[in-house]
Structure 1
Protein backbone atom coordinates (compact mmCIF):
# COMPACT_ATOMS: atom_id res chain seq x y z
CA UNK A 1 0.00 0.00 0.00
CA UNK A 2 2.52 2.54 -1.15
CA UNK A 3 -0.05 5.07 -2.35
CA UNK A 4 -3.46 6.18 -1.12
CA UNK A 5 -6.67 4.99 -2.76
CA UNK A 6 -9.18 7.74 -2.08
CA UNK A 7 -12.71 6.88 -3.13
CA UNK A 8 -15.96 8.06 -1.50
CA UNK A 9 -16.98 6.16 1.61
CA UNK A 10 -20.62 5.21 2.01
CA UNK A 11 -20.95 7.28 5.19
CA UNK A 12 -20.04 10.36 3.17
CA UNK A 13 -23.05 9.93 0.88
CA UNK A 14 -25.65 12.57 1.84
CA UNK A 15 -28.34 10.30 0.36
CA UNK A 16 -27.43 7.32 2.55
CA UNK A 17 -30.53 5.74 4.07
CA UNK A 18 -31.14 7.17 7.54
CA UNK A 19 -31.39 3.78 9.26
CA UNK A 20 -28.13 2.62 7.64
CA UNK A 21 -26.45 5.87 8.67
CA UNK A 22 -27.56 5.49 12.28
CA UNK A 23 -26.52 1.81 12.35
CA UNK A 24 -23.10 2.79 11.00
CA UNK A 25 -22.70 5.51 13.63
CA UNK A 26 -23.51 2.96 16.35
CA UNK A 27 -20.96 0.59 14.86
CA UNK A 28 -18.27 3.27 14.80
CA UNK A 29 -19.14 4.21 18.37
CA UNK A 30 -18.59 0.58 19.42
CA UNK A 31 -15.27 0.44 17.56
CA UNK A 32 -14.11 3.73 19.09
CA UNK A 33 -14.95 2.42 22.56
CA UNK A 34 -13.07 -0.83 21.92
CA UNK A 35 -10.01 1.00 20.60
CA UNK A 36 -10.20 3.61 23.39
CA UNK A 37 -9.99 6.53 21.01
CA UNK A 38 -10.99 9.02 23.70
CA UNK A 39 -8.08 7.99 25.92
CA UNK A 40 -5.64 9.00 23.18
CA UNK A 41 -7.00 12.54 23.34
CA UNK A 42 -7.51 12.57 27.09
CA UNK A 43 -3.82 12.63 28.06
CA UNK A 44 -3.33 15.74 25.94
CA UNK A 45 -6.41 17.32 27.52
CA UNK A 46 -4.86 16.69 30.94
CA UNK A 47 -1.58 18.27 29.88
CA UNK A 48 -3.31 21.46 28.77
CA UNK A 49 -5.70 21.55 31.74
CA UNK A 50 -2.73 21.55 34.12
CA UNK A 51 -1.59 24.89 32.69
CA UNK A 52 -4.78 26.96 32.49
CA UNK A 53 -5.81 27.26 36.12
CA UNK A 54 -9.45 27.08 37.19
CA UNK A 55 -11.08 28.27 33.99
CA UNK A 56 -12.91 25.67 31.86
CA UNK A 57 -10.84 24.08 29.12
CA UNK A 58 -12.50 24.73 25.76
CA UNK A 59 -12.37 21.97 23.13
CA UNK A 60 -13.72 21.71 19.59
CA UNK A 61 -14.22 18.28 18.01
CA UNK A 62 -14.42 18.42 14.21
CA UNK A 63 -16.42 15.80 12.28
CA UNK A 64 -17.78 14.51 15.56
CA UNK A 65 -20.14 11.87 14.12
CA UNK A 66 -22.17 10.48 17.03
CA UNK A 67 -20.23 12.62 19.56
CA UNK A 68 -19.00 9.52 21.36
CA UNK A 69 -15.55 10.99 21.95
CA UNK A 70 -16.80 14.31 23.41
CA UNK A 71 -19.16 12.34 25.65
CA UNK A 72 -16.30 10.14 26.86
CA UNK A 73 -14.09 13.17 27.48
CA UNK A 74 -16.81 14.91 29.48
CA UNK A 75 -17.28 11.81 31.65
CA UNK A 76 -13.53 11.48 32.22
CA UNK A 77 -13.29 15.16 33.13
CA UNK A 78 -16.21 14.92 35.54
CA UNK A 79 -14.59 11.97 37.32
CA UNK A 80 -11.38 13.98 37.73
CA UNK A 81 -12.98 17.28 38.70
CA UNK A 82 -11.78 19.02 35.54
CA UNK A 83 -14.01 21.67 33.98
CA UNK A 84 -14.47 21.15 30.23
CA UNK A 85 -16.55 23.02 27.71
CA UNK A 86 -16.82 21.00 24.50
CA UNK A 87 -18.26 22.11 21.19
CA UNK A 88 -18.61 19.54 18.42
CA UNK A 89 -19.52 19.92 14.77
CA UNK A 90 -20.23 17.81 11.71
CA UNK A 91 -21.21 18.50 8.13
CA UNK A 92 -24.10 16.02 8.44
CA UNK A 93 -27.36 17.19 10.01
CA UNK A 94 -28.23 13.54 10.54
CA UNK A 95 -25.03 12.97 12.52
CA UNK A 96 -25.77 16.04 14.65
CA UNK A 97 -29.27 14.68 15.32
CA UNK A 98 -27.83 11.36 16.50
CA UNK A 99 -25.15 13.14 18.53
CA UNK A 100 -27.80 15.28 20.24
CA UNK A 101 -29.75 12.18 21.28
CA UNK A 102 -26.58 10.53 22.57
CA UNK A 103 -25.64 13.57 24.65
CA UNK A 104 -29.11 13.71 26.19
CA UNK A 105 -29.02 9.98 26.95
CA UNK A 106 -25.62 10.37 28.62
CA UNK A 107 -26.72 13.51 30.53
CA UNK A 108 -23.75 15.33 29.03
CA UNK A 109 -23.78 18.92 27.81
CA UNK A 110 -22.01 19.38 24.47
CA UNK A 111 -22.71 22.30 22.13
CA UNK A 112 -23.41 20.70 18.74
CA UNK A 113 -23.62 22.48 15.41
CA UNK A 114 -23.33 21.87 11.67
CA UNK A 115 -20.14 23.04 9.98
CA UNK A 116 -18.61 22.24 6.61
CA UNK A 117 -14.95 22.59 7.51
CA UNK A 118 -13.93 22.43 3.84
CA UNK A 119 -15.93 25.57 3.06
CA UNK A 120 -16.33 27.40 6.37
CA UNK A 121 -13.97 28.90 8.91
CA UNK A 122 -14.07 27.79 12.54
CA UNK A 123 -16.12 30.58 14.15
CA UNK A 124 -14.40 30.72 17.55
CA UNK A 125 -11.10 29.97 19.25
CA UNK A 126 -10.52 27.01 21.53
CA UNK A 127 -7.75 25.75 23.79
CA UNK A 128 -7.76 22.43 21.92
CA UNK A 129 -9.05 21.66 18.44
CA UNK A 130 -9.23 17.96 17.61
CA UNK A 131 -10.51 15.48 15.08
CA UNK A 132 -10.61 11.70 15.06
CA UNK A 133 -10.51 9.53 11.94
CA UNK A 134 -11.46 12.40 9.68
CA UNK A 135 -8.31 13.41 7.85
CA UNK A 136 -8.21 10.27 5.69
CA UNK A 137 -11.46 11.35 4.01
CA UNK A 138 -9.65 14.30 2.45
CA UNK A 139 -7.32 14.98 -0.43
CA UNK A 140 -3.84 16.19 0.47
CA UNK A 141 -4.82 19.77 -0.39
CA UNK A 142 -7.99 19.55 1.70
CA UNK A 143 -6.08 18.03 4.62
CA UNK A 144 -3.58 20.90 4.63
CA UNK A 145 -6.45 23.40 4.54
CA UNK A 146 -8.23 21.72 7.46
CA UNK A 147 -5.03 21.50 9.51
CA UNK A 148 -4.36 25.18 8.83
CA UNK A 149 -7.88 26.09 10.02
CA UNK A 150 -7.42 23.95 13.13
CA UNK A 151 -4.14 25.71 13.86
CA UNK A 152 -5.73 29.15 13.46
CA UNK A 153 -8.57 28.26 15.85
CA UNK A 154 -6.45 26.61 18.56
CA UNK A 155 -4.66 28.58 21.25
CA UNK A 156 -2.77 25.62 22.78
CA UNK A 157 -3.07 22.28 21.00
CA UNK A 158 -4.25 20.58 17.85
CA UNK A 159 -4.81 16.83 18.25
CA UNK A 160 -5.41 14.55 15.27
CA UNK A 161 -6.16 10.84 15.70
CA UNK A 162 -6.33 8.81 12.52
CA UNK A 163 -5.68 5.46 10.91
CA UNK A 164 -2.35 4.63 9.29
CA UNK A 165 -2.11 2.98 5.89
CA UNK A 166 -0.38 -0.39 5.68
CA UNK A 167 -1.36 -3.95 4.80
CA UNK A 168 -1.38 -5.29 8.36
CA UNK A 169 -3.70 -2.51 9.50
CA UNK A 170 -6.01 -3.25 6.56
CA UNK A 171 -6.29 -6.88 7.68
CA UNK A 172 -6.91 -5.92 11.31
CA UNK A 173 -9.64 -3.45 10.37
CA UNK A 174 -11.27 -5.89 7.95
CA UNK A 175 -11.66 -8.46 10.73
CA UNK A 176 -12.52 -5.97 13.50
CA UNK A 177 -15.35 -4.33 11.56
CA UNK A 178 -16.97 -7.72 10.97
CA UNK A 179 -16.62 -8.78 14.59
CA UNK A 180 -17.79 -5.54 16.20
CA UNK A 181 -20.70 -4.46 13.98
CA UNK A 182 -23.25 -5.82 11.53
CA UNK A 183 -23.28 -2.58 9.54
CA UNK A 184 -22.48 -3.27 5.90
CA UNK A 185 -21.59 0.42 5.60
CA UNK A 186 -18.85 0.01 8.20
CA UNK A 187 -17.77 -3.28 6.61
CA UNK A 188 -17.01 -1.32 3.43
CA UNK A 189 -15.84 1.96 4.93
CA UNK A 190 -13.49 0.47 7.53
CA UNK A 191 -11.05 -1.26 5.16
CA UNK A 192 -11.46 1.55 2.64
CA UNK A 193 -10.42 4.01 5.34
CA UNK A 194 -7.09 2.21 5.64
CA UNK A 195 -6.57 2.37 1.88
CA UNK A 196 -7.26 6.11 1.98
CA UNK A 197 -5.27 6.81 5.14
CA UNK A 198 -2.00 8.69 5.38
CA UNK A 199 1.20 7.24 6.74
CA UNK A 200 2.77 8.95 9.74
CA UNK A 201 5.40 10.51 7.51
CA UNK A 202 2.80 11.81 5.06
CA UNK A 203 0.64 13.33 7.79
CA UNK A 204 3.65 14.95 9.48
CA UNK A 205 4.61 16.53 6.17
CA UNK A 206 1.07 17.83 5.61
CA UNK A 207 1.07 19.40 9.08
CA UNK A 208 4.35 21.14 8.29
CA UNK A 209 2.82 22.47 5.09
CA UNK A 210 -0.08 23.79 7.20
CA UNK A 211 2.37 25.87 9.24
CA UNK A 212 3.02 23.73 12.31
CA UNK A 213 6.57 23.87 13.66
CA UNK A 214 6.18 22.13 17.04
CA UNK A 215 4.93 18.65 16.15
CA UNK A 216 4.94 15.16 17.59
CA UNK A 217 3.48 12.02 16.04
CA UNK A 218 3.19 8.57 17.61
CA UNK A 219 1.80 5.26 16.41
CA UNK A 220 -0.87 3.76 18.66
CA UNK A 221 -2.35 0.27 18.70
CA UNK A 222 -4.55 -0.62 16.98
CA UNK A 223 -3.86 0.81 13.53
CA UNK A 224 -3.67 4.49 14.45
CA UNK A 225 -1.41 7.45 15.07
CA UNK A 226 -1.77 10.63 17.11
CA UNK A 227 -0.44 13.89 15.70
CA UNK A 228 -0.12 16.74 18.19
CA UNK A 229 0.70 20.29 17.21
CA UNK A 230 1.59 22.68 20.01
CA UNK A 231 0.77 26.24 19.12
CA UNK A 232 3.81 28.52 19.11
CA UNK A 233 4.48 29.97 22.54
CA UNK A 234 2.81 27.10 24.44
CA UNK A 235 4.32 23.99 25.99
Structure 2
Protein backbone atom coordinates (compact mmCIF):
# COMPACT_ATOMS: atom_id res chain seq x y z
CA UNK A 1 0.00 0.00 0.00
CA UNK A 2 1.41 3.37 -0.96
CA UNK A 3 1.26 6.49 1.17
CA UNK A 4 -1.37 7.87 -1.18
CA UNK A 5 -3.51 4.78 -0.66
CA UNK A 6 -3.61 5.48 3.08
CA UNK A 7 -4.06 9.23 3.04
CA UNK A 8 -7.58 10.73 2.93
CA UNK A 9 -6.08 14.24 3.08
CA UNK A 10 -4.56 13.76 -0.39
CA UNK A 11 -1.02 14.63 0.72
CA UNK A 12 1.33 13.37 -1.98
CA UNK A 13 -1.51 12.24 -4.27
CA UNK A 14 -1.61 13.93 -7.68
CA UNK A 15 -5.12 13.72 -9.10
CA UNK A 16 -4.54 16.24 -11.87
CA UNK A 17 -3.62 13.43 -14.29
CA UNK A 18 -4.37 9.73 -14.64
CA UNK A 19 -1.83 7.49 -12.90
CA UNK A 20 -1.77 4.60 -15.36
CA UNK A 21 1.34 3.07 -13.78
CA UNK A 22 -0.56 1.93 -10.69
CA UNK A 23 -1.51 -1.75 -10.65
CA UNK A 24 -4.47 -2.98 -8.68
CA UNK A 25 -3.76 -5.85 -6.31
CA UNK A 26 -6.56 -8.03 -7.67
CA UNK A 27 -5.07 -7.84 -11.17
CA UNK A 28 -2.02 -9.78 -9.96
CA UNK A 29 -2.43 -13.45 -10.96
CA UNK A 30 -0.50 -14.38 -7.80
CA UNK A 31 -2.66 -12.38 -5.37
CA UNK A 32 -4.13 -14.07 -2.28
CA UNK A 33 -7.07 -16.12 -3.63
CA UNK A 34 -9.01 -15.88 -0.36
CA UNK A 35 -8.71 -12.10 -0.25
CA UNK A 36 -9.69 -11.98 -3.93
CA UNK A 37 -12.81 -14.06 -3.34
CA UNK A 38 -13.82 -11.86 -0.41
CA UNK A 39 -13.22 -8.82 -2.63
CA UNK A 40 -15.54 -10.12 -5.34
CA UNK A 41 -18.25 -10.78 -2.75
CA UNK A 42 -17.79 -7.37 -1.11
CA UNK A 43 -18.21 -5.62 -4.47
CA UNK A 44 -21.95 -6.23 -4.18
CA UNK A 45 -21.99 -3.93 -1.15
CA UNK A 46 -19.52 -1.37 -2.51
CA UNK A 47 -21.17 -1.04 -5.91
CA UNK A 48 -24.61 -0.72 -4.37
CA UNK A 49 -23.30 2.28 -2.42
CA UNK A 50 -21.12 4.04 -4.99
CA UNK A 51 -21.78 2.88 -8.55
CA UNK A 52 -25.08 4.67 -9.18
CA UNK A 53 -26.28 1.84 -11.42
CA UNK A 54 -29.86 1.87 -10.14
CA UNK A 55 -30.30 5.35 -11.60
CA UNK A 56 -28.37 4.44 -14.76
CA UNK A 57 -30.68 1.47 -15.27
CA UNK A 58 -33.66 3.84 -15.35
CA UNK A 59 -32.09 6.67 -17.36
CA UNK A 60 -29.90 4.79 -19.84
CA UNK A 61 -30.81 1.09 -20.00
CA UNK A 62 -34.61 1.07 -19.88
CA UNK A 63 -34.97 3.59 -22.75
CA UNK A 64 -32.71 1.38 -24.88
CA UNK A 65 -34.71 -1.83 -24.37
CA UNK A 66 -36.86 -3.14 -27.24
CA UNK A 67 -40.55 -2.16 -27.20
CA UNK A 68 -41.46 -5.77 -26.42
CA UNK A 69 -39.79 -5.45 -23.03
CA UNK A 70 -37.80 -8.61 -23.72
CA UNK A 71 -34.06 -8.13 -24.07
CA UNK A 72 -30.68 -9.74 -24.00
CA UNK A 73 -28.04 -7.75 -22.10
CA UNK A 74 -24.30 -8.36 -21.98
CA UNK A 75 -22.17 -7.41 -18.96
CA UNK A 76 -18.55 -7.26 -20.11
CA UNK A 77 -15.90 -7.78 -17.44
CA UNK A 78 -18.57 -8.88 -15.00
CA UNK A 79 -16.22 -9.64 -12.10
CA UNK A 80 -18.16 -11.26 -9.28
CA UNK A 81 -21.44 -10.76 -11.14
CA UNK A 82 -23.19 -8.28 -8.84
CA UNK A 83 -24.22 -5.92 -11.65
CA UNK A 84 -25.58 -8.75 -13.81
CA UNK A 85 -27.70 -10.01 -10.92
CA UNK A 86 -28.93 -6.51 -10.14
CA UNK A 87 -29.96 -5.88 -13.75
CA UNK A 88 -32.16 -8.99 -13.75
CA UNK A 89 -33.69 -8.02 -10.40
CA UNK A 90 -34.44 -4.45 -11.49
CA UNK A 91 -35.84 -5.65 -14.82
CA UNK A 92 -38.22 -8.01 -13.07
CA UNK A 93 -39.43 -5.35 -10.65
CA UNK A 94 -40.01 -2.94 -13.55
CA UNK A 95 -41.92 -5.44 -15.66
CA UNK A 96 -39.23 -6.37 -18.19
CA UNK A 97 -38.02 -9.80 -19.21
CA UNK A 98 -34.25 -9.53 -19.45
CA UNK A 99 -31.66 -12.24 -19.92
CA UNK A 100 -28.20 -11.14 -18.80
CA UNK A 101 -24.96 -12.78 -19.89
CA UNK A 102 -21.98 -11.88 -17.73
CA UNK A 103 -18.55 -12.57 -19.22
CA UNK A 104 -15.03 -12.11 -17.90
CA UNK A 105 -11.75 -13.48 -19.24
CA UNK A 106 -10.54 -14.11 -15.67
CA UNK A 107 -11.50 -17.59 -14.53
CA UNK A 108 -11.25 -16.46 -10.89
CA UNK A 109 -13.99 -13.87 -11.46
CA UNK A 110 -16.29 -16.34 -13.19
CA UNK A 111 -15.80 -18.90 -10.42
CA UNK A 112 -16.82 -16.26 -7.88
CA UNK A 113 -19.80 -15.14 -9.98
CA UNK A 114 -21.11 -18.67 -10.38
CA UNK A 115 -21.17 -19.19 -6.62
CA UNK A 116 -24.13 -16.79 -6.46
CA UNK A 117 -26.32 -18.14 -9.24
CA UNK A 118 -29.46 -16.19 -10.12
CA UNK A 119 -32.26 -17.13 -12.49
CA UNK A 120 -31.96 -15.14 -15.71
CA UNK A 121 -28.17 -14.72 -15.50
CA UNK A 122 -25.52 -16.82 -17.23
CA UNK A 123 -21.82 -16.42 -16.51
CA UNK A 124 -19.17 -17.39 -19.05
CA UNK A 125 -15.40 -17.13 -19.16
CA UNK A 126 -14.82 -15.24 -22.39
CA UNK A 127 -13.46 -12.03 -23.85
CA UNK A 128 -15.36 -9.50 -25.94
CA UNK A 129 -13.24 -10.49 -28.94
CA UNK A 130 -14.31 -14.12 -28.59
CA UNK A 131 -17.97 -13.10 -28.49
CA UNK A 132 -17.56 -11.04 -31.66
CA UNK A 133 -15.87 -13.97 -33.40
CA UNK A 134 -18.78 -16.21 -32.36
CA UNK A 135 -21.30 -13.80 -33.89
CA UNK A 136 -23.01 -12.97 -30.59
CA UNK A 137 -25.43 -10.01 -30.50
CA UNK A 138 -27.15 -8.25 -27.60
CA UNK A 139 -29.71 -5.49 -27.28
CA UNK A 140 -27.60 -3.63 -24.72
CA UNK A 141 -23.95 -4.02 -23.78
CA UNK A 142 -22.74 -2.67 -20.43
CA UNK A 143 -19.69 -2.70 -18.22
CA UNK A 144 -18.75 -1.38 -14.80
CA UNK A 145 -15.23 -0.31 -13.77
CA UNK A 146 -13.56 -1.80 -16.84
CA UNK A 147 -12.35 1.22 -18.83
CA UNK A 148 -9.79 2.41 -16.28
CA UNK A 149 -8.11 -1.00 -16.32
CA UNK A 150 -7.36 -0.84 -20.06
CA UNK A 151 -4.38 0.65 -21.84
CA UNK A 152 -4.98 2.65 -25.03
CA UNK A 153 -4.86 -0.28 -27.43
CA UNK A 154 -7.02 -2.51 -25.23
CA UNK A 155 -9.58 0.26 -24.77
CA UNK A 156 -9.87 0.84 -28.52
CA UNK A 157 -10.39 -2.88 -29.10
CA UNK A 158 -12.87 -3.17 -26.23
CA UNK A 159 -15.03 -0.33 -27.52
CA UNK A 160 -14.87 -1.64 -31.09
CA UNK A 161 -16.03 -5.05 -29.86
CA UNK A 162 -18.82 -3.39 -27.90
CA UNK A 163 -20.03 -1.68 -31.08
CA UNK A 164 -20.12 -5.03 -32.88
CA UNK A 165 -21.94 -6.79 -30.05
CA UNK A 166 -24.67 -4.21 -29.39
CA UNK A 167 -27.69 -3.94 -31.66
CA UNK A 168 -28.94 -1.06 -29.52
CA UNK A 169 -26.89 0.75 -26.89
CA UNK A 170 -23.39 0.34 -25.47
CA UNK A 171 -23.00 1.78 -21.98
CA UNK A 172 -19.78 1.66 -19.98
CA UNK A 173 -19.73 3.16 -16.50
CA UNK A 174 -16.61 4.05 -14.54
CA UNK A 175 -15.33 6.27 -11.76
CA UNK A 176 -14.98 9.98 -12.41
CA UNK A 177 -11.61 11.02 -10.98
CA UNK A 178 -11.69 13.92 -8.52
CA UNK A 179 -10.33 15.00 -5.17
CA UNK A 180 -13.81 14.68 -3.69
CA UNK A 181 -14.19 11.09 -4.90
CA UNK A 182 -10.78 10.11 -3.56
CA UNK A 183 -11.31 11.71 -0.15
CA UNK A 184 -14.81 10.27 0.28
CA UNK A 185 -13.68 6.76 -0.63
CA UNK A 186 -10.60 6.94 1.58
CA UNK A 187 -12.76 7.87 4.57
CA UNK A 188 -15.61 5.41 3.96
CA UNK A 189 -13.91 2.30 2.53
CA UNK A 190 -12.41 0.99 5.80
CA UNK A 191 -15.97 0.16 6.87
CA UNK A 192 -16.24 -2.56 4.23
CA UNK A 193 -12.66 -3.42 3.26
CA UNK A 194 -11.34 -5.68 6.03
CA UNK A 195 -9.75 -8.81 4.58
CA UNK A 196 -10.16 -7.60 0.99
CA UNK A 197 -8.48 -5.47 -1.68
CA UNK A 198 -11.44 -3.09 -1.68
CA UNK A 199 -9.73 -0.09 -0.08
CA UNK A 200 -6.34 -0.16 -1.82
CA UNK A 201 -7.70 -1.11 -5.23
CA UNK A 202 -10.56 1.38 -4.99
CA UNK A 203 -8.19 4.27 -4.34
CA UNK A 204 -5.90 3.13 -7.12
CA UNK A 205 -8.90 2.83 -9.44
CA UNK A 206 -9.81 6.45 -8.78
CA UNK A 207 -6.28 7.55 -9.60
CA UNK A 208 -6.37 5.55 -12.86
CA UNK A 209 -9.79 6.82 -13.90
CA UNK A 210 -10.96 9.55 -16.29
CA UNK A 211 -12.52 12.95 -15.98
CA UNK A 212 -15.36 13.61 -18.44
CA UNK A 213 -13.20 15.69 -20.86
CA UNK A 214 -10.40 13.09 -20.72
CA UNK A 215 -12.76 10.27 -21.58
CA UNK A 216 -14.43 12.22 -24.36
CA UNK A 217 -10.99 12.90 -25.79
CA UNK A 218 -10.16 9.20 -26.18
CA UNK A 219 -13.56 7.89 -27.29
CA UNK A 220 -14.01 6.95 -30.96
CA UNK A 221 -16.41 8.80 -33.23
CA UNK A 222 -20.03 8.11 -32.36
CA UNK A 223 -19.38 7.79 -28.62
CA UNK A 224 -20.15 10.40 -25.98
CA UNK A 225 -18.92 10.87 -22.42
CA UNK A 226 -21.48 11.87 -19.79
CA UNK A 227 -21.22 12.93 -16.18
CA UNK A 228 -23.27 10.89 -13.72
CA UNK A 229 -23.69 10.82 -9.95
CA UNK A 230 -22.09 9.97 -7.66
CA UNK A 231 -18.59 10.57 -9.06
CA UNK A 232 -19.32 8.63 -12.25
CA UNK A 233 -18.55 8.95 -15.94
CA UNK A 234 -20.40 7.10 -18.70
CA UNK A 235 -19.27 6.18 -22.21
CA UNK A 236 -22.38 5.83 -24.37
CA UNK A 237 -22.98 4.83 -27.98
CA UNK A 238 -26.26 4.13 -29.77
CA UNK A 239 -26.12 1.80 -32.75
TM-score when normalising by structure 2 = 0.85
Per the alignment, residue 90 of structure 2 pairs with 76
Structure-1 residue corresponding to 2:63? 47
Q: Following TM superposition, by how much is the alpha carbon of 1:89 offset from its aligned partner in structure 2, in angstroms? A: 0.5
Q: How far apart, in 1, do the equivalents of 2:153 and 2:110 lie?
A: 26
2:142 aligned with 1:135, yes or no? no
Alpha-carbon distance in structure 1 between the residues aligned to 2:97 and 2:196: 38
CA contact (8 A) 2:77 2:103 kept: yes
- Cα distance per residue 1:138-197 (max 9 Å; x no partner): 112321221121112111101111001222211112122212221441121011001100
Deviations 1:81-125 (A, max 9, x none): 21101111112112111111112xxx42312111234x6453411
* Partner secondary structure for residue 212 of structure 1: coil
Paired residues of 2:36 and 2:196 also in contact (CA < 8 A) = no
> How many residue pairs were aligned?
221
Question: 1:228 aligned to 2:236?
Answer: yes
- Asked if 1:116 is matched to 2:130, the reply is no
Aligned to 2:78: 64
Q: Secondary structure at the match of 1:102?
A: coil
Contact 2:171–2:235 (Cα < 8 Å) also in 1: yes
**Partner residue, 1:150:** 162
8 Å CA contact retained: 2:74, 2:101: yes
1:5-25 CA distances to partner (integer Å, 9 max, x unpaired)? 122211111222221111111
Give 1:78 shift.
1.1
8 Å CA contact retained: 2:98, 2:120: no
Unaligned 5+ runs, structure 2: 1-14
Aligned residue for 1:212? Answer: 222
**Any unmatched runs of 5+ in structure 1?**
none
TM-score normalized with structure 1 length: 0.86
Does the CA-based 8 Å contact 1:60-1:87 persist in structure 2? Answer: yes
- Counting only pairs closer than 5 Å after superposition, residues 77-116 of structure 1 correspond to structure 2 as 77-103=91-117, 107-116=118-127
Q: Secondary structure of 2:219's match? A: helix
Runs of 4 or more, structure 1, over 4 Å off, are: none
| Residue of structure 2 equivalent to 1:185 | 197
> Partner of 2:36 in structure 1?
21
Q: What is the CA–CA distance in structure 2 between the aligned matches of 1:206 and 1:225, rounded to whole Å?
A: 13
Distance 1:64 1:83, change over 3 A: same
Match of 1:8 in 2: 23
SS state at 1:136 partner? helix
Shift of 1:225: 1.7
Aligned partners of 1:108 and 1:16: how far apart in 2?
31
- Tell me how large the CA RMSD over aligned residues is: 1.8
